[in-house]
């Protein structure tokens, strides 16, 4: 008899609410059991569609905080706004945001606090349980922004915060050193705050994963519990055009989840698919 304990893996889809085409396909994947959890963009154009689907499925959700990629903010700071460009949308990427942060740290952090609280509050107001917090472009790894997310997690009793990291530091990928150092600091901060986190996979090939890459991601993480993050979907032309700079392959990642070889590998690796709500019940909201 094989007594090897099962691995607990959260199959988490990011960017729920991004667009109708992506949202509908993620919801179908959740209904089919291919995706066990999702992170919801409160600023997404398909927010209401996502909420309706989650209610129908009886699911909780994560808050996918954002302040980049030209989404529309929930809080209008008028002419003194430091999070947006002339069109009233968020800046394109985190580097542009960090330039603003360096120039006016107190103002930017205060506006980010108000914006991210509004994003969490919009999700909380739906009545859906918020089971985890993460962020677009992993903004919450960075000092200042990290503390904002920890405060929100405590304020709204959200049990888990994402802990992004690379599997290994690579000279060919210098950013891996910075990310893993920031991840280690976030891990210690989560411990001090009494907030939960699990191991994370999906950073190396974000938006471009296939079945082999997903299997390898799980094999490389031997811990008891793991969040496997990806971006499955069937993006329409409008979504592909708006987010072409991401170079995402939504259809490829969705196909990977349906690949029989991937499903067989999960059985071989003794994987039990769970949600963050399941992990909270099993762990009491602490790290695995």
Taking only the tens place, the pLDDT of each residue in 14-23 is 999 999 999 9
CA distances from 204 to 56, 138, 193 (A): 33, 13, 28
Query: Quick one: average pLDDT of 156-164?
Result: 97
pLDDT of residue 1: 42
pLDDT of residue 123: 98
Query: Quick one: average pLDDT of 65-92?
Result: 94
Residue 66 pLDDT greater than 50, yes or no: yes
68 Cα distance to chain centroid: 14
Query: Quick one: average pLDDT of 227-246?
Result: 88
Poorest-pLDDT segment among 2-11, 173-182, 192-201: 2-11
Residue 286 pLDDT greater than 80, yes or no: no
pLDDT of residue 170: 81
Q: Categorize the per-residue pLDDT at 32 as very low, low, confident or very high, splitting at 50, 70 and 90.
A: very high
Query: Quick one: average pLDDT of 112-135?
Result: 98
pLDDT of residue 285: 52
pLDDT of residue 54: 98
Q: Using an 8 Å Cβ cutoff, are 243 and 207 in contact?
A: no
> In 78-174, where does DSSP find H-type helix?
94-103, 105-124, 145-155
Residue 247 pLDDT greater than 50, yes or no: yes
Per-residue b or e along 160-196, where b marks 16 or more CB atoms closer than 10 Å to that residue's CB: bbbbbbbbeeeeeeeebeebbebbeebeebbeeeebb
Percent of the chain with pLDDT over 70: 97
Residue 35 pLDDT greater than 90, yes or no: yes
pLDDT tens-digit map of 268-280: 999 999 999 999 9
The model carries a pTM of: 0.94
Residue 153 pLDDT greater than 90, yes or no: yes
């Amino acid at each position: 008899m094989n007594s090897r304990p099962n691995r607990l893996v959260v199959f988490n889809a990011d960017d729920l609410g991004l667009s109708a085409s992506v949202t509908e396909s993620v919801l179908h994947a959740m209904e089919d059991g291919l995706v066990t959890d999702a992170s919801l963009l409160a600023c997404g154009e398909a927010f209401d569609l996502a909420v309706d689907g989650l209610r129908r499925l009886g699911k909780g959700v994560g808050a996918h905080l954002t302040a980049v990629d030209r989404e529309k903010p929930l809080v209008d700071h008028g002419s003194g706004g430091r999070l947006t460009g002339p069109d009233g949308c968020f800046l394109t990427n985190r580097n542009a945001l960090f330039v603003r942060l360096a120039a006016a740290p107190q103002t930017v952090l205060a506006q980010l606090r108000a914006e991210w609280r509004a994003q969490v509050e919009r999700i909380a107001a739906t009545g859906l349980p918020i089971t985890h917090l993460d962020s677009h472009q992993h903004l919450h790894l960075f000092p200042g922004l990290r503390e904002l997310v920890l405060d929100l997690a405590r304020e709204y009793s959200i049990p888990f915060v994402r802990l992004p990291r690379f599997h290994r530091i690579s000279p060919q990928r210098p950013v891996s050193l910075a990310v893993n150092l920031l991840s280690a600091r976030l891990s210690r901060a989560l411990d001090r705050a009494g907030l939960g986190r699990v191991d994370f996979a999906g950073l190396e090939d974000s938006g471009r994963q296939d079945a082999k890459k997903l299997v390898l991601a799980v094999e490389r993480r031997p811990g008891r519990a793991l969040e496997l993050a990806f971006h499955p979907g069937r993006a329409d032309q409008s979504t592909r055009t708006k987010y072409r700079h991401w170079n995402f392959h939504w259809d490829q990642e969705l196909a990977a989840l349906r690949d029989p070889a991937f499903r067989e590998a999960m059985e071989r690796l003794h994987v039990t698919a769970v949600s963050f709500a399941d992990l909270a019940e099993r762990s009491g909201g602490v790290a695995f």
